[in-house]
Amino acid sequence: MTKTVHAGAIPFGGNHPLVLIAGPCVIESEKLVLQTAESIKTICDRLDMPFVFKSSYLKDNRSSEGSYQGPGLKEGLRILKKVKEEVGVPVLSDIHDQHDAEAVSEVLDIIQIPAYLSMQTSLTLAVAGTGRVVNVKKGQFLDPGDVRNIVGKIENQGNEKILLTERGSCFGYHNLVVDMRSFQIMRETGYPVIFDPTHAIRVYGISSADPRGGTPQFVPALSRAAAAAGIDGIFIETHPKCDEAKCDAASMWPLPLLEKLLVQVKAVDDLVRSGEELRL
């Protein structure tokens, strides 16, 4: 059993229910963000599933400098604060620059360290020092056991509000695979573990606007398998019209299909939680 980490009023880990972290990849407009957050909350209320809204104020790791990166720090945080106040859910966004840490900590309930930056010590220490919940996306290049080093950096700042997210590991140049052993290995740190299937199915080297840039048809199978392996939350980037999305259009899960996916994942999770954990 993992520790319990609270993001706002929502507990992750321990014996608490599976948590959904979801939203569009990047903030496209205030209207889209609010409508999407409301829709997801309605679904989660029906399923009795805790919900944290996610959307990025800035996407710095784009394949082209001309790609849409988001509204930026000030406007993005204003919109996320509005989601928090009007929809009534905790909010999460990722951070790329250590100098943003103080500003984001005033709004975000969870600050996310991107996978590509998961070994950046200065960024990790700045985020840890805010005292907010830190969600570490495990780098695609890391062994799951290596997250102990990142956890140690955060703990040494006096912060034990840590979430760990699996989003796949490099398999050749463009593809990722998900090692189901990684959930158990990362959980041995004592912290809650999240699974992000919508980044695990990205095909890198191809623009996310190109339909070949993702294989979202594999999201349900990977999500069910992760729930069976034992997770504390699931991270799903979703959009009402994926083909019109300004970022990760090829890999987000369609909002109209979100409830059907969550019903399946929740059923597997309930089954796993109802039985005795088997350990050698």
Taking the complete model, does pTM exceed 0.95, yes or no? yes
Give the Cα separation of 183 and 221 in Å (integer): 16
Strands (E), 29-88: 51-54
Could you tell me if residue 268 is inside a domain?
yes
Task: Name the band, by pLDDT with cuts 50, 70 and 90, for residue 42.
Answer: very high
User: What pLDDT, on the 0 to 100 scale, is given for residue 180?
Assistant: 97
User: What pLDDT, on the 0 to 100 scale, is given for residue 217?
Assistant: 98
Give the Cα separation of 46 and 23 in Å (integer): 17
Dihedral sign of CA atoms 257, 258, 263, 268 in order = positive
Could you tell me if residue 192 is inside a domain?
yes
User: What pLDDT, on the 0 to 100 scale, is given for residue 186?
Assistant: 98
Write the pLDDT tens digit of every residue in 85-121.
999 999 999 999 999 999 999 999 999 999 999 999 9
User: What pLDDT, on the 0 to 100 scale, is given for residue 208?
Assistant: 80
Return all residues near 107 (Cβ < 8 A) that are at least 6 apart.
77, 80, 81, 84, 91
Return all residues near 176 (Cβ < 8 A) that are at least 6 apart.
140, 167, 168, 169, 170, 199, 200, 201, 202, 204
Quickly count: other Cβ atoms within 10 Å of residue 219's Cβ: 22
Assess whether pLDDT exceeds 90 at residue 84: yes
pLDDT (mean) for 131-146? 97
Assess whether pLDDT exceeds 80 at residue 63: no
Assess whether pLDDT exceeds 80 at residue 61: no
pLDDT (mean) for 21-47? 98
Q: State how far the alpha carbon of 83 is from the alpha carbons of 23, 52, 233, 259, in Å.
A: 11, 10, 20, 20
Strands (E), the chain: 5-7, 10-12, 19-23, 51-54, 91-94, 110-113, 133-137, 162-166, 169-171, 175-177, 193-195, 233-239, 253-254
Could you tell me if residue 170 is inside a domain?
yes
At 240 the three-state DSSP class reads coil
User: What pLDDT, on the 0 to 100 scale, is given for residue 258?
Assistant: 98
Assess whether pLDDT exceeds 80 at residue 67: no
Assess whether pLDDT exceeds 90 at residue 257: yes
Could you tell me if residue 221 is inside a domain?
yes
User: What pLDDT, on the 0 to 100 scale, is given for residue 278?
Assistant: 83
User: What pLDDT, on the 0 to 100 scale, is given for residue 62?
Assistant: 62
Could you tell me if residue 4 is inside a domain?
no
Could you tell me if residue 222 is inside a domain?
yes
User: What pLDDT, on the 0 to 100 scale, is given for residue 222?
Assistant: 98
Assess whether pLDDT exceeds 90 at residue 129: yes
Could you tell me if residue 1 is inside a domain?
no
- pLDDT exceeding 70 applies to what percent of the chain? 99
Could you tell me if residue 158 is inside a domain?
yes
Burial readout 265-280 (b: 16 or more C-beta within 10 A, e: otherwise): bbebbeeeeeeeeeee
The mean pLDDT value of the chain amounts to 96
User: What pLDDT, on the 0 to 100 scale, is given for residue 205?
Assistant: 85
Write the pLDDT tens digit of every residue in 189-206.
999 999 999 999 999 888
Element (H, E) at 262: helix 258-274
User: What pLDDT, on the 0 to 100 scale, is given for residue 279?
Assistant: 82
Assess whether pLDDT exceeds 90 at residue 209: no
CATH code at 257? 3.20.20.70
pLDDT (mean) for 34-48? 98
Domain count, the chain: 1
Look up tokens 């805010």; give the residue. 130
Assess whether pLDDT exceeds 80 at residue 166: yes
Give the Cα separation of 267 and 273 in Å (integer): 10
Range(s) of the domain holding residue 113: 17-273
